[in-house]
Amino acid sequence: MKLLITGGCGFIGSAVVRLAVAEGHEVVNLDALTYAACEENVASVAAHPAYTFEHADIRDRAALDRIFAAHGPDAVMHLAAESHVDRSIDGPGAFVDTNVTGTFTLLQAARAWWEGQGRPASFRFHHISTDEVFGSLGPEDPPFTEASPYDPRSPYSASKAGSDHLVRAWGHTFGLPVVLSNCSNNYGPYQFPEKLLPLFINNIKHLKPLPVYGKGINVRDWLYVEDHARAIDDILHRGRVGETYNIGGHNEYRNIDLIRLLCQLMDKKLDRPAGTSEQLITYVTDRAGHDMRYAIDATKLRDELGWMPSLKFEEGLARTIDWYLENDAWLESVTSGAYQAYYDRMYN
């Protein structure tokens, strides 16, 4: 298949690109190269004859029309987004622009292309979304299912909920063959160090404070990024049109427990005395509107498509730490320049 993947220079998008090339697909990676992008993330496939890069913005309809006409994709895998909750609190406008208006513009371009081709039933528009659209759970609540009501509570999750609604509407009203997936917290290589795990790995490396929001008792469900990419690939090939699939790791952790585990592993890997990293833990003012708990019921994906997470969390976490320690140059390059100004504004 020829796949148009948006956001392919980001964290999850690059894992999807690398997997798609390995699976023998032709890949067109469309990315605006925002602060969160890194071309190094796709360096392993950049010279592959099946790979093309298009530097474009999903809000630019003329560029999208040109790209659809030039490449004639069989499917769109839409991952381009503003993705960090803290930035959405700091500056929500970019989230509405890219996640809502950008998704609308991409839907219109995809629809025009698809209608021009005679509305092939085999076409897919896969929207990659988040579990945050379902809101926040209490400690004893059952996990989110595909039928859970939407209750987004941050500018980020509201903008992703808006884009989910647009995608479903384009399926319902115009017949565009859409499919959606809502995933829990991803972790793994190439994640921009504004998110919890790479930020804390980097800070531990440099013996800098670990800013834990509130009491550290918020719960997230963690999934290794390559397992997410595999789920997206399964949904592309075997998912049913018009359906939504929840994707999760069956792997809930309170932030503080995860951070303590990370500290212990990092002490060992860096050959430092036990307890060194834990001393860096610093409780700071809580995130505004901080969702307490996310948890995903991925039964539908397992029963229909046979997907399960492949990695145990301790194994995935150890692999992730090793990757960041071995890829010092990557971490240094993405934490230089504008990152320092961001860090100072958010944390100092």
User: Which two structure tokens, joined as six digits, stand for 165?
Assistant: 């609604």
Which partner, ligand NAD, ligand DAU, none, binds residue 98 by CB below 5 to 8 Å per kind? ligand NAD
- Who contacts 70 (Cβ-Cβ below 8 Å, separation ≥6)? none
Q: Is 156 a catalytic residue?
A: yes
Distance CA 48, CA 13 (A): 17
Positions 121 through 180 that interact with ligand NAD (CB under 6 A): 128-130, 160
The phi and psi torsions of 123 (rounded to 5 degrees) equal: -65, 145
Positions 195 through 254 that interact with ligand DAU (CB under 6 A): 195-196, 199, 211-213, 218, 220
Does position 59 bind ligand NAD by CB under 6 A? yes
Which partner, ligand DAU, ligand NAD, none, binds residue 10 by CB below 5 to 8 Å per kind? ligand NAD
CB of 24 to ligand DAU, least distance (A): 29
Interacting residue with ligand NAD among 26, 57, 227, 252 (CB under 6 A): 57
Which residue in 51, 54, 57, 156 is the catalytic one?
156
Give start and end residues of each alpha helix (H) in 175-292.
196-205, 225-238, 255-269
Q: What is the distance of C-alpha 156 from the center of its chain?
A: 12
Helix (H, G, I), strand (E, B) or coil at 139: coil
Distance CA 97, CA 81 (A): 10
Distance CA 16, CA 27 (A): 10
Which residue in 131, 146, 164, 252 is the catalytic one?
131
Does position 98 bind ligand NAD by CB under 6 A? yes
CA nearest to 59, candidates 31, 28, 37, 27:
31
Distance CA 177, CA 23 (A): 22
Distance CA 232, CA 186 (A): 13
Interacting residue with ligand DAU among 255, 277, 320, 335 (CB under 6 A): 255
Does position 57 bind ligand DAU by CB under 6 A? no
Which partner, ligand DAU, ligand NAD, none, binds residue 277 by CB below 5 to 8 Å per kind? none
Q: Is 131 a catalytic residue?
A: yes
Q: Which residues bind ligand NAD (CB under 6 A)?
A: 6-7, 9-13, 31-34, 36-37, 57-59, 79-83, 98, 102, 128-130, 160, 183, 185-186, 192
Active site residues: 131-132, 156
